[in-house]
Amino acid sequence: MNLKDCYYVFWSYFSENAENCYALLLSKNAYDCYVVDNSDHVYGSLHCNRLYKVRNGFFSDDCMDSSFIFDCVGCSDCFGCINLRKQKYRLWNEQLSKEEYYERLKYWDLGSYARFEEAKHKFRALYLSTPHRFAHVVSSQDVTGDIVRDAKDCKVCFSAFDDVEHCRYLYFGGLNMKDSWDVSIGGDTSNLMYETCAVTGHASRCAFSAGGTNCRNTYYSDWAANSSYVFGCISIKNKQYCILNKQYTKQEYEELLPKIKKQMEDVPYIDKKGRVYKFGEFFPPELSAYAYNEAFAFPWYPKTKEEVTREGWRWQDTPERSYEISLKPEDLPDHIRDVNDSITREVIGCTHTVPPAGGCNEQCTTAFRISQAELEFYHKMNIALPRLCPNCRNAERLTWRNGFNLWHRKCMCSKTDHAHDNNPCTIEFETTFSPEKPEILYCADCYRAEFL
């Protein structure tokens, strides 16, 4: 909504000059970003807010002129840094003088693909050897989940921001959202939502519905706007008391609704696997407009074609790609300074299609192009050309965040000086980091004691 000069951009609002992004909000000049708000000149970043001139920022807010930062706030001129607050001239977390910082930064020239890869690997190693917060939860009370800000009494909520209360199983909700369960994308002054997806903006008492705004008492509807008391309606606007898009009087509606509910109880929908859908269940996945492997669930709950078909869900076979690759990724110039406008006419192969990388199950498109605006951005920001197609790049970026399961785990801090009366910490928490993950996790107290 309200986008300008955006290409291959999804679920985004009020943004401009962006490519290959998901969930941009009020941002511009953004490339290859995932959930980035209020930012300008930002590249390859994920879950960040208020960045300016940042390359590869992760879970960081209010930072500028920095690259490869993770969980940093209020920093500028930092490179390869983790867990910093209001710092300047830090390189791989080490404090330097301004002169020394710029001198040593010359080596980390991200215009070079080889150097970019070196920085990426060094950053990953630093990330794995540095403790992290068990969850990104700030200014909140009584919350489990991850990436939560300004919320109260919310359980198993992910990406919930700015005045969210008494919610459960929420993904992507905020701006005054109350008393709602099982919601994906919702908020902007909404309450009493149940099993809805993308129903937003002054919505109340909506259930089993997808899409829509300013609705009340809607059930099993798709893209209803400014409507109330509607059941099984599609794309209706400014209506009341409608069933299957047909207008009824208030009295008729109130008589019919209990009958429909009873019939849904008595003659439920049974899917191919024998699962029963009565009143109270969202539409079955087999009726989805999207195949499983093109849906949002796929990267987080990957399944094989066989598993998906066995569930009775649709699978989208990868279309036969027969692009004539005019430039192999290994033949691209190493440095962006050696790239001229002719690159925009090339069909570049994705590294994941070149052996030995092989098929990657990331919806690889096998080839990609560079647009003129994108090329200008890379020149201006001094960023090497990518070697992966946009889908493979997005899959790589998503490895920086976890999925939607919570594990009960313990603080891994072994220090005895973190205000535990000289005993190691025993605090437990719910975290999205599974026990197999290699990250070192700290409770909020130990993180604060060591880093803030």
| Binding-site ranges for Zn ion (CB under 5 A) | 350, 352, 360, 362, 364, 389, 392, 411, 413, 425, 427, 443, 446
Nearest approach, Cβ of 367 to Zn ion (angstroms)?
8
Task: Identify which of residues 225 and 398 has a Cβ nearer to Zn ion in the complex.
Answer: 398
Nearest approach, Cβ of 406 to Zn ion (angstroms)?
18
Task: Identify which of residues 25 and 449 has a Cβ nearer to Zn ion in the complex.
Answer: 449
* Burial grade of 118 (CB within 10 A; 0-12, 13-18, 19 or more): middle
Task: Identify which of residues 164 and 425 has a Cβ nearer to Zn ion in the complex.
Answer: 425
Are 236 and 250 a contacting pair, CB within 8 Å?
no
- CA 216 to chain CA centroid, Å, is 28
346-352, long-range: CB < 8 A, 24+ apart: 346/370, 347/323, 348/385, 349/325, 350/387, 350/388, 350/389, 350/392, 351/387, 351/388, 351/392, 352/388, 352/389, 352/392
CA distance 214 to 159: 22
Phi, psi of 282 (to 5 degrees): -70, 165
Phi, psi of 245 (to 5 degrees): 65, 10
Q: Which two tokens stand for residue 441?
A: 């996790």
Nearest approach, Cβ of 269 to Zn ion (angstroms)?
37
Cis upstream peptide for 356 (omega within 30°): yes
Task: Identify which of residues 76 and 353 has a Cβ nearer to Zn ion in the complex.
Answer: 353
Nearest approach, Cβ of 318 to Zn ion (angstroms)?
11
Task: Identify which of residues 46 and 183 has a Cβ nearer to Zn ion in the complex.
Answer: 46
Task: Identify which of residues 178 and 352 has a Cβ nearer to Zn ion in the complex.
Answer: 352
Stated length of the chain: 452
Nearest approach, Cβ of 387 to Zn ion (angstroms)?
9
Task: Identify which of residues 156 and 388 has a Cβ nearer to Zn ion in the complex.
Answer: 388
Q: Which amino acid is at 313?
A: W
Q: How many CB atoms are closer than 10 A to CB 55?
A: 24
Task: Identify which of residues 16 and 430 has a Cβ nearer to Zn ion in the complex.
Answer: 430
385: closest CA among 324, 321, 323, 338? 338
Nearest approach, Cβ of 105 to Zn ion (angstroms)?
31
Nearest approach, Cβ of 390 to Zn ion (angstroms)?
8
Nearest approach, Cβ of 389 to Zn ion (angstroms)?
3
Burial 17-46 (b: 16+ CB within 10 A, else e): bbbbbbbbbbbbbbbbbbbbbbbbbbbbbb
